[in-house]
Amino acid sequence: MASSLKPFPKASLPVESIHTVRFFYGRDLAKLKKAGGFPTKLLERVEITNRAPAAHVTNPTGYDRTETYCFLNPGISTFALHSFLRKAVDFSTEKTRTFAIDLSGVDPTDAVRILNAVGNLTLLAAYEPTKFGLKASQEKKPKNLPAVVLLRSELPFARASEIFSIAQSQAEAANLVRLLSELPPNELTPALYLGRIRKLAKEWGATVEFFDRKALEKRGANGFLAVVRADPEGVYGIAKVSWKPRGRKSQRRIALVGKGLCFDTGGYNIKSGEHMFDMHRDMTGSALALATLGHLIRQETQDEIHIYLALAENLISASAYKPNEVVVASNGVSIEVVDTDAEGRMALSDTLVLACENKPDLIIDFATLTGATVRALDNRRAGVFSNRDHLRELAVQAGDAVGERLWGFPIGEDYWEGIHSEIADVRQCAVTNNCDHIYAATFLSSFVRPETPWIHVDLAAEAHKGGLGLSARDVTGFGVRLTEEILRRFEPLK
């Protein structure tokens, strides 16, 4: 299900169910108040400030036609633009059949951002989670997406249509992240998840290799295996999904790594009921890596891409791993276990080792890893770490550009003192919870080869009550646009 951008028709637009959205800069407001044909009384209460860099008025004009006038401060951030547009225009309304977008007078750079936002919003607003039982039987038919017509713009229509199409693919990927992460844990066990991964990979023309328990034992992947020890019969492992451009040499080799904990009880360091609820979403990092791959394939990326998904559950049994155990990961690094609820970094340790073996130009890993990042940033940004300072800054700038914001944190140096062990090479985490996000990233760096550029994203923004940016739902689908923009900006060192 997708929409498309259409040029202004030679014939008049249909009379019914039209919502025209016109964009202006804040500096044009005084002129418009004096101009005829505008809702002057409504415009009188519009004010643009640094704190409120955008404003709108909506004016019903009759015959089921509505016009919304959007006033933007020059230099408005992409995130502020996204938040404003989502609230100013209801792209989910079933009454509107056609949105007519007027970008006359908007400079091409802002026109690109607006068209990308509209292209995402029309699809994101149509998303509904999977329903079950009577809820499923009461489910309405899939919504028909509205038509989107470009009335006027300084952008050539072919370029505008391309931007809109890319945005629709981004939203399709974000909706896949939401769909997978909202499935109940009995509907997305690691075994069922693997089946979905294989099906999607086949549709995309990608290949799948699954490193099961036996293969991981052979590799000595004891960090990962410690986490799944509680359930010796479970289908757990690392799914590697690969794609190479057809008929041409790839430009770069990219690895995306995702934490795929389909449920997390905390293990012996058990979570409270309140904190265990929603732990079926602890696999969001893997869903993001998977969905991003699908989007990049649809865009005919020239990169060779491999994704590594750590599929596991953190359960409790007599055989579950315990604090104070020491296990040795597949690169020979010994780990002293401190907290069984820090299972994500254990599963990622051997997954990162595996990803490094393919000698990628860049690794990006995604994980709902620490509560410390949420405490530091709320659920409004994700935390980013890197073994290259310039890559951390590149990622922050990429996030600002696309409205999926990051905040950079340090790793290494004297932070190693917090995870020093007397009996192992490294502790899994500090005994106290102070700055655990930094300790977690520092720990993970033990499993990335020094010569491999690496970015770690701690997904604090995967859910935010009331929505975030372009998402009106609590589960945001955060990260697809971010990852694409990081890759667009990244240049391997020769």
Q: Are residues 214 and 123 in the same domain?
A: no
> Given phi > 0 = left and psi -120 to 50 = alpha, else beta, which region is 143?
beta
Give yes or no for a contact between 122 and 164, defined as CB atoms under 8 angstroms apart: no
Share of residues in the chain with pLDDT > 90 (%)? 77
Looking at the structure of the chain, the number of domains it has is 2
Tell me the pTM.
0.95
Q: Are residues 193 and 60 in the same domain?
A: no
Please give the Cα distance from 276 to 264 (Å, whole number). Answer: 7
Which residues does the annotation mark as catalytic?
A: 271, 345
pLDDT in tens, 65-89: 788 889 898 889 999 999 999 999 9
Query: Which has more confidence, 250 or 389?
Result: 389
Give 249's pLDDT tier (boundaries 50, 70, 90): confident
- What interhelical angle do 436-444 and 343-356 show, nearest 10? 30
Please give the Cα distance from 24 to 32 (Å, whole number). Answer: 9
Residue 158 lies in a domain: no
Please give the Cα distance from 206 to 188 (Å, whole number). Answer: 21
- Kindly report the backbone phi and psi dihedral angles of residue 263, in degrees, each rounded to the nearest multiple of 5, phi listed first: -160, 145
Out of 111, 131, 151, a domain closes at 151
Q: Are residues 416 and 472 in the same domain?
A: yes
Q: Are residues 212 and 129 in the same domain?
A: no
Residue 325 lies in a domain: yes
Give yes or no for a contact between 94 and 125, defined as CB atoms under 8 angstroms apart: no
With residue 385 as reference, give the H or E element that holds it: strand 382-386
Six-digit token string for 297: 């394939």
Give 353's pLDDT tier (boundaries 50, 70, 90): very high
* Model pLDDT, residue 467: 93
DSSP letter, residue 332: S
Q: Are residues 142 and 218 in the same domain?
A: no
Q: Is 319 helix (H, G, I), strand (E, B) or coil?
A: coil
Q: Are residues 425 and 324 in the same domain?
A: yes
Q: Are residues 141 and 261 in the same domain?
A: no
Residue 299 lies in a domain: yes
* Model pLDDT, residue 265: 98
Q: Is 65 helix (H, G, I), strand (E, B) or coil?
A: strand
Q: Are residues 142 and 290 in the same domain?
A: no
Domain that holds residue 13: 5-151
Residue 172 lies in a domain: no
Q: What is the mean pLDDT of residues 427-455?
A: 97
pLDDT in tens, 355-376: 999 999 999 999 999 999 999 9
Which CATH number is 122's domain given? 3.40.220
**pLDDT surpasses 90 at 216:** yes
Give 15's pLDDT tier (boundaries 50, 70, 90): low
* Model pLDDT, residue 423: 99
Name residue 427's amino acid.
Answer: R
pLDDT in tens, 158-171: 999 999 999 999 99
Average model confidence (pLDDT) across the chain: 92
pLDDT in tens, 103-135: 998 999 999 999 999 999 999 999 999 999 888
Q: Are residues 285 and 397 in the same domain?
A: yes
Q: Are residues 125 and 265 in the same domain?
A: no
* Model pLDDT, residue 247: 81
Q: Are residues 398 and 475 in the same domain?
A: yes
Please give the Cα distance from 195 to 189 (Å, whole number). Answer: 10
* Model pLDDT, residue 109: 92
DSSP letter, residue 146: P
Residue 386 lies in a domain: yes
Six-digit token string for 374: 């949420």
Q: What is the mean pLDDT of residues 190-194?
A: 98
Q: Could you tell me where the beta strands, DSSP code E, fall in 228-287? A: 237-243, 253-264
Among the residues of 299-370, which ranges form H helices?
Answer: 343-356
Which CATH number is 268's domain given? 3.40.630.10
- Kindly report the backbone phi and psi dihedral angles of residue 61, in degrees, each rounded to the nearest multiple of 5, phi listed first: -110, 5
* Model pLDDT, residue 102: 93
Burial bucket for residue 10 (CB in 10 Å: 0-12, 13-18, 19+): exposed
DSSP letter, residue 144: P
* Model pLDDT, residue 491: 96
Residue identified by tokens 């790793």 is: 411
Q: Are residues 71 and 128 in the same domain?
A: yes
Residue 199 lies in a domain: yes
Out of 151, 166, 191, a domain closes at 151
What sign has the CA pseudo-torsion 472, 13, 41, 81?
positive
Q: What is the mean pLDDT of residues 301-308?
A: 98
CA 289 to chain CA centroid, nearest Å: 8
**pLDDT surpasses 90 at 139:** no
Residue 171 lies in a domain: no
pLDDT in tens, 386-419: 999 999 999 999 999 999 999 999 999 999 999 9
